[in-house]
Amino acid sequence: MTKLLSQLRISGCRPLLVWRLFPSIPLVAEEDSASLRSSNADDNSSDVLVESIFSGVADKVSNSGSLLTQDDVLRAIDRGGKDAVSFDSNPATYWVLDPIDGTKGFLRGDDALYVVGLALVVNGKVTVGVMGCPNWTNDTIHNEKDGSAAACNDRGILMVSHLGCGTWSRRLSSEIGQSTTAPDIWKRCFVDSCSVVHMARYCIPDSQTWDMIPLSVLFNSTTGESDPRNENEILLLSVFCGSLCKYLTVASGRASVFVLRAQPTTQIKSWDHAVGVICVQEAGGQISDWSGNPLDLAADLTSRRIIYPSGGVLVTNGALHNKLVEMISANYK
């Protein structure tokens, strides 16, 4: 219950801050307050839940002297909901927010690599992005199935990107009051330089298996980094959490490729990709669908919530991109 409340408080804080700083810019986000409003109307005991969320948000957000009400918080959450704004075919400027990408890991209460992500889209192009992953560690990618990372005082990463200015990161621990031992500096992020397909490091969604990816026709996979590999086998990293963590892994140079297959029963949401796109691109990488076309964030004309990549999404270090598009296209059925 504590983790659930924490998630709901985060869902309230992020939209409220964006709303107050940029009141004229629309917001596209995963959450709304419908369930909270409904339960609050039907059951007086749920007042405790709403009050807990409100108090948590109020503790984090200064209201510049004016009184912050529960309705302010609920309206801020609703600002990014599916019925909050309607777009058309004209170019638009709007925020895309995922308050918690990797919710299942977050709610488990372990050290899952969940990510908070925010992007600014201008005329169909992502121009600014910021991601925070509190449980990120500076050592190598861990292999535990539950997505846990070793305890570390200096864990956590804050990654920011601006069109034409590169991608940069710093430890998140200094932002949230943890003790640090290393100098607090921003570092430029770059993708890795691997140009040989079978030598690259890959990651895929937690819900998918390697045999769902067309490259499996050409390569077997292994999760053992120290195991010897031949030219018919690739290394599949165990990066267990949401999509944004995979983008972060590629942008920081820890992985070479993230590949996701589109499935007819699952919608691909803009907030799971928008901020990752600019962070990888500004770090030197490349993103496309499986046909090699850029992701179209405006394909969902009225709400900008869904993207429709042909085949799936391919995120690479750039050096491998054309080769992988060709291989995937040749083996995709």
Spatial distance between the Cα atoms of 127 and 310, rounded to a whole number of angstroms: 23
DSSP bridge partners of 236:
202
Q: What is the dihedral of CA 258, 322, 197, 211, to 10 degrees?
A: 50
Task: For residues 141 and 103, give the distance between their C-alpha atoms in angstroms, rounded to a whole number.
Answer: 20
Instruction: Say if strands 312-316 and 268-269 run parallel, antiparallel, or are unpaired.
Output: unpaired
Q: Is 30 assigned a ligand-binding role in the annotation? A: yes
Helices (H), the chain: 2-21, 34-42, 47-60, 70-78, 103-108, 243-251, 274-282, 321-331
Which residue, chain included where needed, has tokens 């086998």? 233
According to DSSP, the β-strands at 27-29 and 93-101 are parallel
- The pair of structure tokens assigned to 77 is 């959450």
CA distance 310 to 318: 19
296 is in an annotated binding site: no
Q: Give Cα 210 to chain centroid, integer Å.
A: 21
User: Do the annotations mark residue 268 as ligand-binding?
Assistant: no
CA 191/CA 193 separation, integer angstroms: 7
234 in a labelled binding site: no
Torsion region of 178: left, alpha or beta (phi above 0 gives left; psi -120 to 50 gives alpha):
beta
Known binder of ligand: residue 184? Answer: no
**Binding site members:** 30, 98, 100-101, 272
**Binding site members for Mg(2+):** 30, 98, 100-101, 272
